[in-house]
Amino acid sequence: MNDFWTGAEVISAYTRAQAIEDGALVDVSTTAQEAGFRWPVALTAAVQAEAVAWDGENGEYQDERGRLWDVVFMAGIAVRRNRGRHAAETSRLPYAIYRVPNVPDATESTELQLVIAVSGGDDGEPVMTIMLPHED
């Protein structure tokens, strides 16, 4: 069976860089570095929409910068809590944040489950992606 893949040609590849360029991922590495991350960090577009986006119509008591900080800071706590565990056990870490949904008239925070995943980047370097639990 190994001979089947020998010399196989890649027909198509979608890189992390392309996903960031297309908006499928949002690079938040600068904020993540401020929170103590050493590797590049990106959010999926769904996390950006569910946890970070804020149109301001629900009041001025929140902003996207603060909401992004909450997502990244809580991811850092999840990573630190799992430090020292076997890599196979920690490649996908679930965690939760509380955020006010970005919908009209919302004022109460609700829990949102997220996952931070470690994988290889375009050149095999470690990268982290924050996503909703059903995303891969």
Which runs of consecutive H residues, i.e. helices, occur in 27-136? 29-34, 45-47, 64-81, 87-90
pLDDT at residue 105 is higher than 90: no
Q: Work out the average pLDDT over 101-115.
A: 90
Q: Spell out the domain ranges in the chain.
A: 2-131
pLDDT at residue 21 is higher than 70: yes
Q: Work out the average pLDDT over 54-65.
A: 78
63: Cβ–Cβ under 8 A, 6 or more apart, which residues? 54, 56
**% of the chain exceeding 70 in pLDDT:** 87
**C-alpha–C-alpha distance, residues 15 and 123, integer Å:** 10
| Bigger pLDDT: 69 vs 13 | 69
pLDDT at residue 86 is higher than 70: no
| pLDDT value at residue 46 | 97
